[in-house]
Every structure is written in structure tokens, then in C-alpha cells.
Amino acid sequence: MTYAYQRYYRGMVEAVICDWAGTTYDFGSMAPIKAFQKLFAGEGVPITLAEAREPMGTEKREHITRILNMPRVAQAWQVKHGLPATEQDIDRLYQAFLPMQIAAIKTCAQPIPGLMDTVAWLDERGIQIGANSGYNREMLDTLAAIAAEHGFCPVSNVCATDVKRGRPYPHMSLKNALEIGISDVRACIKIDDTIPGIEEGLAAGMWTVGVAVSGNETGKTQAEWSALNETEQNQVRARANRRFRHGGAHIIIDSIADLPHAVVQVEQWLAQGYGPETPGLAGVTIAPGEALPQ
């Protein structure tokens, strides 16, 4: 007779690995959008909000490449410039994009409401915080320096240019985990407001939490979100929830303010011997606005 054995992790959550724009800072993930729209408008090829957002979460040169490969944008580029975009065009666009992005980061660098309460809750429980981003090192250092002034200082900060491959590959989250020194990837939660960020966490063997309201999937500033009535908010939230559910996120929350409830849920699953790969756990939605668990 042949026997098979399954090894379970039944410890507690040791680390949370956060995305930056749209997850911890910059409600609506507006900084990249401002920069991408300004970049392409300057080339005589304006892009829509939807086009600017579609590749969100990827490394920024790759983001530019994906926009240029969109059929409408590719056609508009050829009409304007006479030829399809080349690698040299992409390199030039990326270099022009860098100062635009850094300026937009500085403009939009405000913590998402509830961030510091969540940080304090995690700290009380000895849960480490790492962070990663599709930004390059200069962009990330710009944002991290501002965040440090507010008291938000992840113990590990990784950007897309620190690793061989950015999202949806697992490299950034795994580098975070190594730097933090976690005992098992199943003790980690990856929280992100983009589908590539969820795919990154899943590929790394981690639990994943999708952020439905404060980030890219909703794509509204805090003022724009607050201006919606309850019915409109519910419709927008439901659409974002469906996207994350289809993307395989284990848990879906409105914003990082609700993350403690996701941590409690993950620890309940771990206590039952479940892991991130256990079938049937994806798509659990946390109701917004509940008091922090004790």
C-alpha cells in the first residue's frame, strides 16, 4: 500500500506584505494614472482612464509597453507617428515618465484612512509588515520617505526593479519574506488593490487579500467615492469584488482599515489545518466598517 502525507502549517500569521499605491497610500491609486495620462497626452496619443489602469500593478516600463500594445492605442500611435512604437520609443517614454511619476507621487502621498490603526493592531500582535510596488527604486524611496514621516515604516521594501521579474511573478513577495525572515510562506498575507498583485501572492504560496474600494479596481479618489450614494457605492464595490473573486483572492475588503478582520479569518483557517492552496476558500468578503477585533 502507498501512503501520502500532507504537511500543514498551523501557526499564526507572521507577516503582511502590502502593496503601496491604492493599498496603503494614495486612495484610488491616482499617482500612476496622472503620470501615464500626462505622458501619452504629451505624445499626441491621449489615453483613457480605463486604458491607463488596465495594466496596473505591473512594473512601469512593462505598463507602458502594455498600453502601447492595446489595439486602439497602437493604431493611434501609428497614425500620429507614422510607425508602430519601437523598443527605442518605449525606452524614451519610460525616461520621460520617471519625473512625471515622482511629481505625482509627491502630490498623492497621503495615507489611506485606517492605515495607522491597522499598523498598530499588527504591531501589538508581533506581525511584521513588508511592502512592495511596481514602482522603481527612486519612485519607491520617494514615497517611503514621505510615509516614514507619517510613522509608516515597513521592515522590508521591495520594488519591481529589485527583482528579475515583477508582478504577476512571485519574486517581490518572496524577497520580502526572505528579508523579514518568516518561517513559512503560509504564514504570510499579501494584500493588494490589483489583480496582478493577487496573482503575485498566490504564486508565492501566500494568503491573498484584495482591496476593492481604496485602489485601482474602483479607481476613485476618496472625495469621489464619498460623493456616491449608497446604491452607487454598492454597485461599484460589487463589480470590484467580482473581479477579485475571479482573480482568486482569498478575502476581499474595502480598504486596509479592514485588514485585521482578514488576519483573524486567516488564522482561523490555519488553526483548522487549511492553507492558501485549499480549495473553496477564495472570495470571502469582509463587511466594511466593523470595529477592530480584540
- 228 and 183 in one domain? yes
Question: Does 4 fall in a domain?
Answer: no
Question: Does 265 fall in a domain?
Answer: yes
* Best CA proximity match to 282, nearest among 252, 237, 255: 252
Q: Assess contact for 25 and 105: CB atoms under 8 A.
A: no
- 234 and 214 in one domain? yes
Owning domain of residue 270? 15-29+110-285
Options 19, 192, 193, 258, the catalytic residue: 19
- 98 and 125 in one domain? no
Q: Assess contact for 6 and 181: CB atoms under 8 A.
A: no
Contacts of 248 (CB under 8 A, 6+ apart): 198, 199, 202, 208, 282
For residue 235, how far is the Cα from the chain centroid? 22
> Does the active-site annotation cover 60?
yes
CATH classification of the domain holding 91? 1.10.150.240
10-residue mean pLDDT series, the chain (294 residues):
79 97 97 96 96 93 97 97 97 96 96 98 98 95 97 97 96 98 97 97 98 96 97 97 97 98 97 94 88 78
Quote the pLDDT of residue 291: 77
Quote the pLDDT of residue 219: 94
- 77 and 189 in one domain? no
Determine whether 98 is exposed, middle or buried from the number of CB atoms within 10 Å of its CB (0-12, 13-18, 19+).
Answer: middle
DSSP-assigned letter for residue 23: T
- 142 and 227 in one domain? yes
CATH classification of the domain holding 259? 3.40.50.1000
User: Model-level pTM?
Assistant: 0.92
> Does the active-site annotation cover 190?
no
CB atoms within 10 A of CB 125: 12
For 51-109, what is each residue's pLDDT tens digit?
999 999 999 999 999 999 999 999 999 999 999 999 999 999 999 999 999 999 999 99
The total number of structural domains in the chain stands at 2
- 153 and 55 in one domain? no
Options 26, 38, 60, 164, the catalytic residue: 60
Quote the pLDDT of residue 1: 57
